[in-house]
Structure formats: structure tokens, C-alpha cells
């Protein structure tokens, strides 16, 4: 899980990220929650960023929904969702 968080955080140019509900070991998608509102904000219109996880050959990848950016997930072990 640490390698997945690190790869997604780097792809989003963020130091840390928080994953949304769900278990990426069970479902082939993961949500990255937006940063929390600051002290001076009471609400935020930000939405989670969704990624679809998949395998190509022996390598694991995440594809960001919306712009189809592909992120190689080095150090992440993927398995088929069968």
C-alpha cells in the first residue's frame, strides 16, 4: 500500500495523499481524496481523483480517469481481479 500511495502522490505532485474508501486489493480502482480545506475555508468543491488499476504483462499500472495519464507502479504487486 505504501508503494501505491508513493507512486500516486508523485504523479499528483503532492507530498502525501489519503486514499478514499475501498480496498484496492479487492477492487481495480482507487480514489485519492483532495487536500483538506485550510483554516480559512469552510467548504471545498474539490472531488476525489479516481485511478483504475491494471496489469500489462508483468507490470502494474494506474490510469487517472479524465486525462488517461498512465502511471507505472514500480514496487506494487498487482494480481488479476478474478
pLDDT tens by residue, 13-45: 999 999 998 888 888 899 999 988 888 888 888
Burial class (CB in 10 A: 0-12, 13-18, 19+), 30: buried
Please report, for residues 1, 26, 64, the alpha-carbon distance to residue 12 in angstroms, rounded to integers and kept in the order given: 17, 23, 10
Q: pLDDT band at 82, cuts 50/70/90?
A: low
With a cut of 90, say whether residue 80 has pLDDT above it.
no
What is the per-residue pLDDT for 70?
95
The answer to whether the beta carbons of residues 75 and 59 sit under 8 Å apart is no
pTM score: 0.86
Amino acid at each position: 500500500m505504501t508503494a501505491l500511495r508513493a507512486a500516486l502522490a508523485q504523479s499528483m505532485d503532492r507530498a502525501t495523499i489519503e486514499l478514499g474508501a475501498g480496498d484496492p486489493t479487492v477492487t481495480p480502482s482507487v480514489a485519492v481524496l483532495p487536500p483538506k480545506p485550510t483554516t480559512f475555508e469552510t467548504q471545498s468543491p474539490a472531488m476525489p481523483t479516481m485511478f483504475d488499476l491494471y496489469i500489462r504483462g508483468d507490470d502494474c499500472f494506474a490510469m487517472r480517469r479524465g486525462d488517461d495519464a498512465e502511471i507505472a507502479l514500480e514496487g506494487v504487486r498487482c494480481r488479476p481481479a478474478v
